[in-house]
Amino acid sequence: MTQSLKFPSFAEATPEEGRLTTVPRLNSFAIFQGARLVVIEHEGTEYRLQITGRGKLILTR
């Protein structure tokens, strides 16, 4: 079962600046939900995001 997360909305770009005013911030605990590995699907390709034994993040294809 795939679970969808609701992420904070992106800031609106102002027409005169043409860029985002803020960057969304996600807490890793909300993403992993107690697991050490999650699979992220992006444009039809699956990526693995995992927490190492030293607490670092690794993203692989």
Residue 17 lies in a domain: no
Which pLDDT band holds residue 31 (cuts at 50, 70, 90)?
very high
CATH, residue 49 = 2.10.70.10
Which one, of 28, 27, 23, 30, lies nearest residue 3 by Cα? 30
- Read off the pLDDT of each residue in 40-48 and give the average, rounded to a whole number: 97
Q: How many domains does the chain have?
A: 1
Residue 56 lies in a domain: yes
Q: What residues make up the domain containing 52?
A: 28-60
Q: What is the DSSP string of 17-47?
A: T-S-SS-----HHHHHTT-SEEEEEETTEEE
pLDDT computed for residue 34 by the predictor: 96
State how far the Cα of 60 lies from the Cα of 46, in Å rounded to an integer: 9
Which pLDDT band holds residue 28 (cuts at 50, 70, 90)?
very high
pLDDT computed for residue 23 by the predictor: 86
Are 39 and 47 in contact by the 8 Å Cβ rule? The answer is yes
Better pLDDT: 8 or 34:
34
